[in-house]
Structures are given as C-alpha cells and as structure tokens.
Amino acid sequence: MNRVYIKTYGCQMNERDSEAVAAMLRGKGYSMVENESEADVILLNTCSVRDQAEQKAIGKAGHVTARKRKNPNLIVGIMGCMAQNRGDELIDRLPDLDLVVGTQKFHRVPEHLDAMIATMQGQGPRPESIVDLEEEAGSQNTIRSHVEDKRQVSAFVSIMQGCNMKCSYCIVPKTRGEERGRPMESILEEVRELAAKGTREVTLLGQIVNQYGVREFPFVEKKSPFVQLLEQVNEIDGIERIRFTSPHPVGFRKDLIDCYARLPKLCEYIHFPMQSGSNRILKAMRRPYTIEKFRSIIEQLREVRPDIYISTDIIVGFPGETEEDFELTRKHFEEIGFDMAYLFKYSVRPGTTAEPLGDPVATEVKEERNQKLLDILGKRSLTRNESLVGHIEEVLLEGPAKRGEGMFMGRTRGHRKVIVPASERLVGELVPVRINSATASTLMGELMLEGVEPAPTAYANSI
C-alpha cells in the first residue's frame, strides 16, 4: 500500500512542492515509483494558471479514478493550485477522488495517506474523501526536505510562498495566498545541506523573489533582504552557481543590479517577465511599470553584464489588445532580443479582476500573434547559440542526455542546454566544453579536459 506516483503540472514551484512531498513520504516509509501502473497511490500536483492546464489535470484525474473500479484500493489525490482553486467542486465532479490538498497543506499529505490506509486496512467502509484547503500559518517553512538518496546537481529552493500583486489576469494570489517569506537562516541551512550532499547549483524560487522578506526583514546598507540572501548564498562553499525565478520590475533596484557585477556565483542569466510591450495593456493588466522602465532595468543589467542571457513571459491576446498594442509588444520583444521566452495565449481565470472583460480577442488572432513572437525568438536564440560555436563554455553536467549512448546533458552559466560526450563520473562537475555546433535550443560540444578522452563521436548523427 505504499508505492506512490506523483505527476506534476505547471511551474518550478510545483516541481519543488512535489519533490518535498516525495521526500516527506519517503521519510515515512513510502516508496516513490516512476511508473503509475505500479502505484498504490497516485497524486496529481496541479496548475491553475491557464484553463488548459486545469483541463489536462481534470482529464487525467478522470482516467485515474476510473481505474479504481478495477482496483478499489488505489488512492487518488489532487494537490496544489487546482485543488485550492476548485476545492469541493472536484469531489462533486470526481466522486472517487480520495484526497484534495491545497497549497498550504502539502506537508499534511503523509498523515492523510496514513489515516486513509489505516482505515482501508481495517477493512472498514471506504474512507471519506479528505479535503484540506485551509490557510496555515508557517506553511512556507514546510517545503524544505529534499530527496535523501539522490544527489541533486541542480536544486530548487523555495524561499517564499504567495503573491501580493494583483495582476488582473492572474489566479496565483488566489491559489497561493499572501506573500510569506521563510526565515533567511532556514533557507541558508537548506542550501548548506544541499551543498554538503553535492548540489552545485541552486535556483531560488518565489512568485516575486525580489520582494522576498520586504515586510519581515530590514534593509541593511540599502540592500534588500533578497540581496542579503544572495550575498550569503554566494558565500556557501560547494555552491558554484546561483539562479532565481521570477523577479518583478517593481523593486528591481540598483542593489540587485549590482549583484550581477559583484557576486561571482550569480549566473549571467535572468528570467524577467515583461507580459506586454504596450503601456496601455500593462496598465490594464495591473502591472505597475511602463515598458520604458522595464527596458531601463535591462539596459542597466547589460551595462554590468554585457553577456547576460534574458528570458521572459509574454501574454498575447489580453482583452482589448489591439493590433497597435501587439505591434508594440512585437517591437520591444525584438529590440530587447530575448534569448528564451514563454509565450502564452490569454486565458480567462475565474475570480480575477480581468474576468469580467471576457475573452474578446479571437483564438486565431492570438495564435497569429504568438507565432510572430515565436519566429523572432527562434531567430534570436539561434543567432545567440551560433555565436558560441568555437568558444569554450563552462558547463555543469547534470546527467545522461535523453538520447545517445555516452551522451550527457549540462547547462552553461547562461542556461543554454549543452549535449556532450562524457562519462558518469563527471556528473556534477563544472567542465570546459568547446561548442561545435548549435540549434536554437541546444548546443553540441566536446570536453576540453586534459586526460579525459572524449567518447567516440557517433553523436553528430544520432542526435
């Protein structure tokens, strides 16, 4: 009764929450399985940010609960944002669901499963479904356990939960609640533990990381709590690279920009959501900055780190987005030259302030706008990647590549994916790699280590 399969939808925050649930379950004697057909318990960790994400998870939950007809002992749960957003409605829709666990209750999953299994083993009637969605003070401090028996070369560290912004399209403040930062010392302790177990890279996670602790902790020498945290993570031996996601233009000040000049472990990469290039739409989105302000932050970042890699989020087709508005988005998107971007078609979310505006931009128009940005992005990513051919990049080897015997995957400091022939013993190492060829998404290279023979290179054809 103790084999658990977790399927995760959505963002890195969700991945991190799933990892923490897995670690807590392992600590209680459960084992995690990679294949859902072997599982006694199936948990779906869900996303609500777009309707499509919810529909996908509901579809999956429907399939999985249907399996309970053949195997009544199977336990099925929905956790995370959609659980929080839809709550009891999920049980109405999927009466065979056993568990609905909200975003502040991940740490309760082991005890809920224990209780459910105990009732089932007592041969009693099928236990009642458990719905646990309350707010819980201090829940941000519970996402800290990591999987014990597996080295994570690169690890996510959740530094805060929730969001106090009120972007008109966004459901996150509803699903994740008020902004709550973890104590700095607890975060640092977690990073030290990770480093001791072989982690080389950490990505600090929060809805708006640069807001971390602004209410809880003081500024010191005009430095925000987030900058203080970065400084301290930079001091931890064994950690070689620091990333974070996502920052917001509001509160992105000189103290943070300067970090890119003075903290050597902070990678020259930033994910910086722009959302739109039209000030009129930014205002309607309740994003409290102008495109000029956004671009000035990027200019300052490029002054201190001319080689910085920048990625972004864009929403096309927000209600009222005209051709002129989109043209501004297109123009700024092209001029800034993003190296990566997540492009989203607007999706109405219930309960948001934009909901009453409906969804007036036609799907085909959204698709066309999306495609225009994708074309720009494809060209820019390819040019940037091609500029690396012939150069030596520092690559953190993360593990075997999905395809190709003897091939390994790693990332440059700029977060570009690199495929290289290597050996298992180099996983977790920072290695110099000469880049030999490039596509828009991937670099191919060879190790430049003395005494390390590159593996035979059939890979050029096989990848």
Binding positions for [4Fe-4S] cluster are: 11, 47, 81, 163, 167, 170
347 binds ligand 5AD (CB under 6 A): yes
Q: 29 near 112, Cβ under 8 Å?
A: no
Asked whether the beta carbons of 289 and 277 are under 8 A apart, the reply is no
Shortest Å, Cβ 322 to ligand SF4: 22
d(CA 226, CA 8): 28
3-state secondary structure of 32: strand
**Whose CA is closest to 328, among 272, 373, 285?**
373
Which range of residues in 194-202, 208-216, 325-333, 339-347 is near ligand 5AD by CB under 6 A? Answer: 339-347
Alpha-carbon distance 102 to 162, whole Å? 13
Q: Which is nearer to ligand SF4, 22 or 163 (CB)?
A: 163
Max CA separation in the chain (angstroms): 68
Of 169 and 408, which CB lies nearer to ligand 5AD in the complex structure? 169
Tell me the three state secondary structure of residue 433: strand
Binding flag, residue 169, ligand 5AD (CB under 6 A): yes
Least separation in angstroms between CB 290 and ligand 5AD: 18
Q: Give bridge partners of residue 408 from the DSSP assignment.
A: 400, 420
9 binds ligand 5AD (CB under 6 A): no
Q: How many residues bind ligand SF4 (CB under 6 A)?
A: 9
Least separation in angstroms between residue 190's CB and ligand 5AD is: 24
324, 351 contact by CB (below 8 A): no
Give the 3-state secondary structure percentages of the chain, helix then strand then coil, rounded to 5: 40, 20, 40
Which CB, 146 or 271, lies closer to ligand 5AD? 271
The binding track of 201-220 with respect to ligand SF4, each residue x by CB under 6 A or -, is ------xx------------
Q: Which helix (H) or strand (E) holds 112?
A: helix 109-121
Instruction: Compose the 257-286 pattern: x for residues touching ligand 5AD by CB under 6 A, - for all others.
Output: ----------------x-x-----------
Q: Are strands 201-205 and 407-412 parallel, antiparallel or unpaired?
A: unpaired
Pick 30 or 289: Cβ nearer ligand 5AD? 289
Q: What is the DSSP string of 270-284?
A: EE---B-S-HHHHHH
Q: Does position 287 bind ligand 5AD by CB under 6 A? A: no
Site string for ligand SF4, 157-196 (x = CB under 6 A): ------x-x-x--x-xx-----------------------
Nearest-approach distance from CB 313 to ligand 5AD, in angstroms: 3
CB of 349 to ligand 5AD, least distance (A): 5
Q: Which residues of 302-340 are buried (b: 16+ CB within 10 A; e: fewer)?
A: eeebeebbbbbebbbbbbebeeebbebbbebbbebbbbb
Query: Which one of ligand 5AD, ligand SF4, none is in contact with 315 (Cβ closer than 5 to 8 A by kind)?
Result: ligand 5AD
Q: Give residues in contact with ligand 5AD (CB under 6 A).
A: 49-50, 169-170, 273, 275, 313, 315, 344, 346-347, 349
Q: Give residues in contact with ligand SF4 (CB under 6 A).
A: 163, 165, 167, 170, 172-173, 207-208, 248
